[in-house]
Amino acid sequence: MTVGLLLVDCFLAGSLSLKDKRHILASVTERLRRSFNLAVCEVEHQNQWQRARVALVLVNTDWRALQSTAAKALEMLERHRELSVLDTELRRLC
């Protein structure tokens, strides 16, 4: 079993309040969960209305397959019109 952690730093230019940010992130996280069957959580910048750090946790039997799924999830985030991906980091946890 392989566990991966994908950390994604995002900028939400269209967010004018924490309520806007939560709405955008709720939409994004639900879409990621449905599409890729992974765990998603905002882990930093909870009180900043235009920044977010999102953690995605993936589990697979094969590291390459996990990397492929992480890349597809990241592509989905990059295509989202209400946020910009600033930085990413993929870690192999076990």
- Hey, how many other C-beta atoms are within 10 angstroms of the C-beta on 54? 23
Q: What is the identity of the amino acid at 11?
A: F
Residue 14 has a pLDDT of: 87
Sheet holding 51-60, edge to edge: 39-44, 51-60, 2-11, 84-92
Q: Whole-model pTM?
A: 0.92
Domain count, the chain: 1
Domain that holds residue 81: 2-92
For residue 46 the two structure tokens come to 């909870």
In this prediction, residue 66 carries a pLDDT of 97
> Tell me: the pLDDT tens digits for 4-39?
999 999 999 989 999 999 999 999 999 999 999 999
CATH of the domain at 47: 3.30.70.1120
Per-residue model confidence (pLDDT) at position 8: 98
How does pLDDT run across 52-67, given as a tens digit for each residue? 999 999 999 999 999 9
